[in-house]
């Protein structure tokens, strides 16, 4: 347990930040899973509608420093490529 006032404050801050970060990360994971499930069910139009929302969430998380900018970019690229693959395969 920290002894000084500044160390106690740093501990409080890091706990709050950890909770916020874990909430945002779990929300990201949930919507990405939802996107992939929509593609599995061949509901491409709904997945298309969800993609801008996912992009927004990824951008917000990267701007807040929760995930790295390149990580957000990579995830967006992979999701859009996945959608393109489903559209190109004619499963619409």
Tens of pLDDT, residue by residue over 30-59, are 999 999 999 999 999 999 999 999 999 999
- Architecture of the structural domain at 23-88: Up-down Bundle (1.20)
The length of the chain is: 92
Q: pTM for the whole thing? A: 0.85
72 touches 62 (CB < 8 A): yes
Residue 77 has pLDDT above 80, yes or no: yes
pLDDT reading at 92 higher than 60: no
Q: Which helix (H) or strand (E) holds 71?
A: helix 69-88
Closest CA to 35 of 21, 55, 7: 55
Assess contact for 34 and 53: CB atoms under 8 A.
no
């Amino acid at each position: 347990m920290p002894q000084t006032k500044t160390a106690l404050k740093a501990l409080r801050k890091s706990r709050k930040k950890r909770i916020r970060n874990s909430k945002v990360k779990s929300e990201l994971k949930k919507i990405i899973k939802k996107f992939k499930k929509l593609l599995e069910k061949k509901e491409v139009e709904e997945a298309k509608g969800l993609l801008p929302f996912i992009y927004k969430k990824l951008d917000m998380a990267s701007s807040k420093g929760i995930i790295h900018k390149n990580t957000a970019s990579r995830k967006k690229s992979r999701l859009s490529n996945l959608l393109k693959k489903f559209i190109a395969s004619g499963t619409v």
